[in-house]
Structures are given as structure tokens and as C-alpha cells.
Amino acid sequence: MRIVAISGSLRADSLNTRLAHAAAGLVPAGVEIEVVTLQDIPLYDEDLRSEGWPAAVTTLGERIADADGVLIATPEYNYSISGVLKNALDWLSRLSSAPLAGKPTAIMSASPGMFGGVRAQDHLRQILFGLDARVLTRPQVIVNLAADKFQEDGSLSDSMAVELMRKLMEALTRAGGDKDAINVQQTRPRWEPARARAVGGIRGAGQV
């Protein structure tokens, strides 16, 4: 089984790229996870698209289409996802293959702030609903104050976050192995339209 993990941040020492790599160490046996970043995806431009699909876009679409599941680690910028991640999703939405449609997809976030990217997760769920991805709703992995929670070897020191991440990877693996399943747990839907939540907090992107 193969999972593609996408980091929504370009920074070399990105907390969310670290989070994606940490998740790769928590997948069940027999699961391969490939971490990809979005440096090579150009800004969406219909004129550019009409001249031919950028190779980086088609390659990302093929990786997602060939995978059994997708994991997205998203930063939070000004109460939403990064422009880099939104741009990549806009490109993917235009591919005729619709690689995210029906694809089991899990999301997580890391932020130096108190709320760990929860508002970005809400917006990302809305966008993925528009792309018809099958988004897992539980468990939610939200790593706050993340700048102080990564060890030198890349692992997380937050034991609760590690346990939730492990459960999320198990849920994504089950979803990827059962394309017709609709429940992560017996009583909770695996995918649904995003529900708005009123969350107060601190404005600003920080280092994500």
C-alpha cells in the first residue's frame, strides 16, 4: 500500500514537512509513504495551462492517482491554508483525471501558535470537499506550539500528538485498503462537508 504525503509549506525546515516525515515513521507495516513538497508547482495561469500542462503538475497528479491514500500537512496563514497549497489544489482540480476524487485523504497541521492550525484544517476540508476527496474526519491531528516539539531526529516529543497521528495513519490505511468503506469508526462518518467552527485566536502566520 502506498500513501502520498504533501507538505503545504516551502520552507526548508518547515514544521509541516517535519510533521509529514514524522507520520511516515508511524504507518502500519507494509505501508509506504512518500513525502512530496510543492516547490516546482507554478502559479496557476490559464494561459500557461493552455500551452501545455506543467510537468510538475502532471507528475503530482499521477502520484496521487497511483496512491491508495493522501496525507496533507498544512500550515496556517492568516486563518487559512498557504497560498502554495491552495495553488497546487487548484491545478489538481483542473486535471481531467481528477486524482483526488474519491481518494481517501487525511489532514494534519503543525503551527508555532496556540491553536495548531485548526482554522486552516477547516478551510482545507471545504476545499477538498469541492474536489470530491474522501476526507477522514477523525482523529484530528493538530500540533500546537510545534517549534518546541520536534526532536533532533525529527520525531515528535508530544506523546498525545504521536498517538493521534498513529491512529490517523491506521485509519487512512484502512480507508485506502477498502475503497467502498464510508466509516472510520462505526458511529462517525469518514467524509462529509466541512462544518464551520467559531475559533478565537492569534492572527498571523509565524514559522510554519
What are the residues whose beta carbons fall under 8 Å from the beta carbon of 208, sequence distance 6 or more? Answer: 9, 11, 14, 15, 16, 75, 76, 77, 82, 110, 111, 112, 117
Whether the pLDDT of residue 70 is over 70: the answer is yes
Q: Mean per-residue pLDDT for 7-13?
A: 95
In this prediction, residue 178 carries a pLDDT of 66
Report residue 34 as a C-alpha cell.
512518500
Whether the pLDDT of residue 202 is over 50: the answer is no
Question: Which CATH class, in words, describes the domain spanning 2-189?
Answer: alpha beta
Domain boundaries, the chain: 2-189
Whether the pLDDT of residue 177 is over 90: the answer is no
Whether the pLDDT of residue 182 is over 50: the answer is no
In this prediction, residue 181 carries a pLDDT of 41
What's the DSSP call for residue 156?
B
- What confidence category does residue 208 fall into, taking pLDDT thresholds of 50, 70 and 90? low
What's the DSSP call for residue 9?
-
Q: Mean per-residue pLDDT for 151-167?
A: 92
Determine the Cα–Cα distance for residues 208 and 206; give it in Å rounded to an integer: 6
Whether the pLDDT of residue 92 is over 50: the answer is yes
Query: What is residue 192's three-state secondary structure?
Result: coil
DSSP secondary structure string for all residues of 30-94: T-EEEEE--TTPPPP-HHHHHT---HHHHHHHHHHHHSSEEEEEE--BTTB--HHHHHHHHHHHH
In this prediction, residue 139 carries a pLDDT of 94
Whether the pLDDT of residue 189 is over 50: the answer is no
In this prediction, residue 1 carries a pLDDT of 95
CA dihedral sign, ordered 76, 77, 80, 86? negative
Question: 115-145 pLDDT, tens per residue?
Answer: 889 999 999 999 999 999 999 999 999 999 8
Q: Mean per-residue pLDDT for 168-183?
A: 77
CA dihedral sign, ordered 139, 168, 36, 14? positive
Average pLDDT, whole number, for the chain? 87
Share of the chain above pLDDT 90, in %: 77
Q: At what angle do helices 83-94 and 118-130 cross, to 10 degrees?
A: 10
Alpha helices in 114-190 (DSSP H): 118-130, 159-177
Share of the chain above pLDDT 70, in %: 85
Whether the pLDDT of residue 74 is over 50: the answer is yes
In this prediction, residue 192 carries a pLDDT of 38
Report residue 152 as a C-alpha cell.
533532533
In this structure, what is the dihedral angle of CA atoms 8, 132, 32, 1, given to the nearest 10 degrees? Answer: 180
